[in-house]
Structure 1
Amino acid sequence: ATTTTQPPTTTTQPATTTTTQPPATPSTFPVEVVQDYLKKLLTAEVGVSDLVNEIIGISNDWDNRSETDVTYGATEEAMEAAVERMQAALVDFDLISAPPTGDFPPKHLTVVSAAGQIAESATEMLAGLQSADTGEQRQAAQVGLNAAYGVFIEGIDAIIAEYIGDDEITALIVSRNLTAPAPADAEETASEETASEETASEEPTTTTTEPSG
């Protein structure tokens, strides 16, 4: 008998190549998503900025009431309405989500935190207006409002720079021109309050006592 031995069969599998995709960056992430985020962010910024300027204007008019002739009732009503709208704007702002790419998430959190501080300072300004002091609480809260607003704007500038590049950010800031009024000088404010107090002392005394904050 003849025995035939077959050679062993060897099968070689082709090597598997694994390709690792780099993480998404502002340049590779879907541009439509980033643009939609920036549009929502800048729209919210305009709303917050308008309210900041409105609240500061109401406060300044009250400080200069001897010249503006505003009443406490009208001032309180206007401040309450503006603060209420600020709280609503903060809720809307919290609904904006940053794209999960680049430095957007941490920078967005900075802006959200500053927006919260703006709302808190605005609420404190209203409380100061309604207090029995001579304006110290409200004016201190106004300083805090300006500081928080500065952080808010700088944070949004940083987010925009993340996408369009630092070379264009300066022109963008100038074009937006959303800087809040600076706090009144302490000495000037003090002199205005003194003048207001002198004017108030000349007015007839009534049985209704209004907060002077």
Structure 2
Amino acid sequence: MTNEHAYSTNDPTIVNAYRQALADRAEMGKKIAADVKALGAGPRVFVRDSGFSGISRSITAIEQQGDHIPDGWRVVRGNLEPRRGKPGEAARQWLAEHQPVDVRAVMEKHGLPRSCWLPRAQEFGWSISRPALFEHDGEVWACYAVEPGTSDSGFDTEKCTWTPRKLSEFHAAREAAEEAEKSAGVAR
């Protein structure tokens, strides 16, 4: 038996916020790619979960291109990271200005918890799970591995304010969205 919980909303404010977050993320991706190339690095950047909760993701390093080391950067484990202290200020500023848009953080402002906490089989321990998230036919859908806001972890406190849905409805909407993307020639 699955413990998954699905939700959806067709609130125009939330749907528009979701669409804008996706557009902003795509635009930032283009900016990051162009600016990494202009820096003489890349093309890959390294995105890591940050903090104990593992919720937010941030770019922490850039792939080194050949032997080139841009001003303010240093090589750490084969990748470019900002130098320590004052010499790395410009590189740290560059990273701060080139972070990916977190769509789930935007949705969190509209009643969708960014993650849920799942107990592990061990005596103590938790795993963090992010919801699957997509739009289909003017409705934004989310599915969590467990019901958000119900663990006794002390961290998972927010419940989802969107409309609870049957898992069969979620999966039918997801299949329809994937089929529509396939028909339109959109790659996931």
What is the TM-score when the length of structure 2 is the normalising length? 0.31
Could you say which structure has the higher helix fraction? 1
**TM-score of the superposed pair, with normalisation by structure 1:** 0.28
Asked which structure has the greater CA Rg, the reply is 1
